[in-house]
């Protein structure tokens, strides 16, 4: 046995991860169901001068035997049934103490199920969230590890080495048992949906309210990337807005159809948040916005009914838009982290919030300067909600008036702001000591005798309500 680690699944992500592992000096045995992909990988590894550190194996049993025991075997195949099939095929060849490290976009409940299935067989199971796409896989992704702690220690040197680095610190960490890693990856994606939607809403005001062309918008995003909003998504927004179509010479963004796709991780984040009773309105708004966007023909018809939106020029400034985006983002992250904190409690994971913010600082799609501030703030003491973490209270006090101004202007100017307005309403609901649920409770007791609480008098009280029968 000569390989430090094995890897199965040589499509985009797997082949790049294998090259990354080889480049860091570890020997990696590789295998793929279709042999053609192995041939392609061999050629690529050779072209990159990494063939000395890669061992291609066309036979699964032979592949497993090539890996040093206790074995760490990464599987990077299509999420869903293929992962279960792969586990079944591997099992006869594994020995107690070996570990399967599944790095695809699996649903955390599937990961938890596989972890529970393999535990009695003494086979470790690590469910690992990998973010950063193709480039991240090759040069350093953010790696969120969950599962068998014992086997994690065997794989730790390799996974730590291949992850992105932020100021020299690896963006890879063990987060908790079972499905913890994939849960955190799912919420990462939910937060990503929120970030992208809020950026799109701000772009809408620039385009239709301030009359800016894509080039002018691009310049603003490039400028913002030097400030508190500095992040990968703001950076690529600048590039997307700057791109020109080869065929027509027009800005590419003006030609792209306004229908957003989705693969489900945002929706799952929103569903889980609702199931756990944690409001994540920014993620919900972002998922809803994508779904609405995809109903293009309905929207076209509805515009025919109501007429074009009356988008008179707005008096919001670019400085307001920048601060509004920052405030919206703080609320969205507060919600995402609250979902993680609740899952930690519910599943007994002890998820480390400061560490999660840390490993998202580089490599992943939501990487940003903001996450560095967030990890430092959480490191001083994890609060129930980011909105009451002192460093963020300061930023929020400075920026929420702009969010207010922008959402108000959007309402008057007939701009949709599903995500930013949801963030603002969440903030306003969260920070008010006296809300309006007293009325809701009164109604619930009226029609369903659900009871209400009066301080100093008890919890399961009822009103004497008039009868509405026969009216
Ligand atoms: P795909 O999701 O396109 O999966 C293709 C790979 O899965 C091939 O190696 C294929 O083998 C293998 N496969 C499919 N079905 C089976 C099966 N029944 N048994 C054995 N192998 C099978 O590859 P990607 O590289 O795009 O993604 C891999 C994982 O990483 C997915 O879970 C994806 O969601 C996740 N991911 C992807 C990112 C991306 O940017 N692409 C980013 C982050 C995560 P064969 O060649 O024989 O068909």
pLDDT score at 383: 80
Q: Is 452 helix (H, G, I), strand (E, B) or coil?
A: strand
Identical fold, 5-178 and 188-430:
no
Segments of the chain scoring below 50 in pLDDT: none
How many angstroms is it from 132 CA to the middle of ligand 1?
15
* Side-chain half-sphere exposure of 66, counting CA atoms within 13 A: 22
Residue to mutate (ligand 1; options 77, 106, 363; most atoms within 8 A of CB): 77
Q: Whose CA is nearest to atom 4 of ligand 1?
A: 78
What are the angstrom distances between the C-alpha of 321 and each of 263, 337, 408?
29, 24, 12
Nearest to 195 by CA among 173, 223, 172, 224: 224
Domain boundaries, the chain: 5-178, 188-430
**CATH for 188-430, options being 2.40.70.10, 3.40.50.300, 3.40.50.11540, 1.10.1040.10:** 1.10.1040.10
Residues lining ligand 1, Cβ inside 6 A:
9-14, 32-34, 37, 76-79, 82, 85-86, 104-105, 130, 133-134
The b-or-e profile of 440-465 (16+ CB within 10 A means b, else e) is eeeeebeeeeeebeeeeeeeeeeeee
The closest residue, in CA terms, to atom 13 on ligand 1 is 77
- Tracing tokens 């796709």 back to the chain, one arrives at 261
Ligand 1 atom closest to the CA of 82, numbered from 1: 18
Q: Return the residue whose CA atom lies nearest to atom 17 of ligand 1.
A: 82
- Cα 164 to Cα 169: distance, rounded to the nearest angstrom: 8
Active site annotation includes 405: no
Distance 78 CA to ligand 1 centre (A): 3
The pLDDT of residue 111 is 98
Superfamily for 5-178? NAD(P)-binding Rossmann-like Domain (3.40.50.720)
Residue 342: active-site member: no
Looking at ligand 1, which atom is closest to the CA of residue 8? 9
Provide the pLDDT for residue 65: 98
Instruction: Give residue 30's pLDDT.
Output: 98
What does the pLDDT read at residue 110? 98
* Residue of 13, 58, 162 with the most ligand 1 atoms within 8 Å of its CB, for mutation: 13
The single residue of 102, 192, 201, 322 carrying the catalytic annotation is 192
Neighbouring residues of 443: CB distance < 8 A, sequence distance ≥ 6: none
């Amino acid at each position: 046995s000569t390989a430090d680690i094995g890897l199965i699944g040589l499509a985009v992500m797997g082949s790049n991860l294998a090259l990354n592992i080889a480049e860091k000096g570890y020997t990696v045995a590789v295998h793929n169901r279709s042999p053609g992909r192995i041939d392609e990988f061999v050629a690529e590894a050779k072209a990159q001068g990494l063939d000395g550190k890669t061992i291609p194996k066309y036979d699964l049993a032979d592949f497993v035997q090539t890996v040093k025991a206790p074995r760490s075997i990464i599987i990077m195949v299509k999420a869903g049934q293929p992962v279960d099939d792969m586990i079944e095929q591997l099992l006869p060849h594994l020995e107690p103490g070996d570990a399967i490290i599944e790095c695809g976009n699996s649903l955390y409940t599937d990961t938890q199920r596989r972890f529970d299935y393999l535990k009695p067989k003494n086979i470790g199971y690590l469910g690992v969230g990998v973010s950063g796409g193709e480039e991240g896989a090759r040069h350093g992704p953010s790696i969120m590890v969950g599962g068998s702690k014992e086997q994690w220690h065997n794989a730790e040197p390799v996974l730590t080495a291949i992850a992105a680095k932020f100021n020299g610190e690896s963006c890879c960490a063990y987060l908790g048992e079972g499905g913890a890693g994939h849960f955190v990856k799912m919420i990462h994606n939910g937060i990503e949906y929120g970030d992208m939607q809020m950026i799109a809403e701000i772009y809408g005001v620039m385009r239709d309210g301030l009359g800016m062309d894509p080039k002018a918008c691009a310049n603003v995003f490039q400028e913002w990337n030097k400030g508190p909003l500095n992040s990968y998504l703001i950076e690529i927004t600048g590039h997307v807005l700057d791109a020109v179509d080869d065929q027509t010479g027009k800005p590419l963004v003006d030609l792209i159809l306004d229908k957003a796709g989705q693969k489900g991780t945002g929706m799952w984040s929103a569903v889980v948040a609702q199931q756990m009773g944690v409001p994540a309105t920014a993620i919900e708004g972002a998922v809803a916005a994508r779904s609405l966007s995809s109903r293009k023909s309905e929207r076209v018809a509805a515009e025919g009914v109501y007429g074009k939106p009356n988008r008179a020029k707005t008096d919001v400034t670019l400085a307001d838009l920048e601060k509004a985006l920052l405030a919206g983002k703080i609320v969205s992250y507060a919600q995402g982290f609250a979902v993680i904190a609740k899952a930690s409690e519910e599943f007994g994971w002890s998820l480390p919030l400061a560490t999660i913010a840390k490993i998202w600082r580089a490599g992943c799609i939501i990487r940003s300067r903001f996450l560095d501030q967030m990890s430092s703030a959480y490191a001083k003491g994890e609060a129930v909600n980011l909105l009451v973490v002192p460093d963020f209270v300061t930023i929020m006090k400075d920026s929420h008036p702009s969010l207010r101004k922008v959402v108000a202007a959007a309402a008057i100017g007939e701009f949709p702001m599903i995500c930013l307005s949801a963030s603002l309403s969440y903030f306003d609901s969260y920070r008010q000591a006296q809300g309006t649920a007293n009325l809701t409770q009164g109604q619930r007791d009226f029609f369903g005798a659900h009871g209400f609480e009066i301080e100093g008098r008890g919890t399961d009280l009822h009103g004497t309500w008039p009868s509405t029968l026969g009216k």
